[in-house]
Amino acid sequence: MALFRLGGPSEISNFVRGEGVHLRPAEPYDYEAWADLREKSRSFLTPWEPTWPGDDLTRTAFRRRLRRNLQEITNDEAYPFLIFRDDDTLVGGLTLGQVKRGVAQSATLGYWMGVPYAGKGFMSRAVRAMTGYAFTSLHLHRIEAACLPHNEASIRLLERVGFKREGFARAYLRINGLWQDHLLYALLETDPPPLRVARRDRG
């Protein structure tokens, strides 16, 4: 089957604003804050992420990351953003990856939160902002996400912001050095927004 590109964004905004947070691609001056937050959060993040390369937190690796990120955004392949509070404090990161155009118009969602800021609602707000950006500015139709079955915080987050559970994938991704099963979720541009309750998010 031939896949015809329906058209990606002609101009990509590098700034996404949400409720109390904003997202943008990483810049060279973010290195110290990024490396410090990742190092402080290493034990917190390790069970949920691929194994970190030995040089992952070095400035050289960060420069490579920035070059790769810019190329991915330029090619409409992925949109890796950092998440900041309104006071410009870095709290985490979020990526729309594996962008597919043509008849698919889809992407996958991945995210990480620094341990000092987990459970304070920042990621819920960031995901809401990014999905809005994906559907309006990037003209995507479907956003997929996967999480480990025992990652209760991630399950709550995805369901809170409107993702629907669609399936179970055996040995789906290599996380923390092991092929692990995942729950599969998705959000469509046509899905109704979830009911918002009058309380502070915890995800």
- Residues, the chain, total? 203
Q: Which residue has the higher pLDDT, 13 or 71?
A: 71
pLDDT band at 8 (very low <50, low <70, confident <90, very high): very low
Write the pLDDT tens digit of every residue in 140-178: 999 999 999 999 999 999 999 999 999 999 999 999 999
Q: What is the pLDDT of residue 16?
A: 94
Q: What is the pLDDT of residue 203?
A: 56
Q: For residue 135, report the phi and psi dihedrals to the nearest 5 degrees.
A: -80, -30
Which residues are CB-neighbours of 2 under 8 A, at least 6 positions away? none
Reported as half-sphere exposure (CB side, CA atoms, 13 A), residue 130 has a value of 34
Tokens coding 22: 């904003």
Mind giving me the DSSP string for 117-172? GTTSSHHHHHHHHHHHHHHHTS--SEEEEEE-TT-HHHHHHHHHTT-EEEEEEEEE
Write the pLDDT tens digit of every residue in 129-149: 999 999 999 999 999 999 999
Using left for φ > 0, alpha for ψ between -120 and 50, and beta otherwise, residue 81 falls in beta
Rounded CA-CA distance 32/37 in Å is 8
The answer to whether the CB of 31 falls within 8 A of the CB of 157 is no
**Which of 161-165, 182-186, 198-202 has the weakest average pLDDT?**
198-202
Write the pLDDT tens digit of every residue in 77-90: 999 999 999 999 99
- Could you give the domains of the chain? 16-141 (3.40.630.30)
What are the residue ranges of helices labelled H in 57-151? 59-74, 122-136
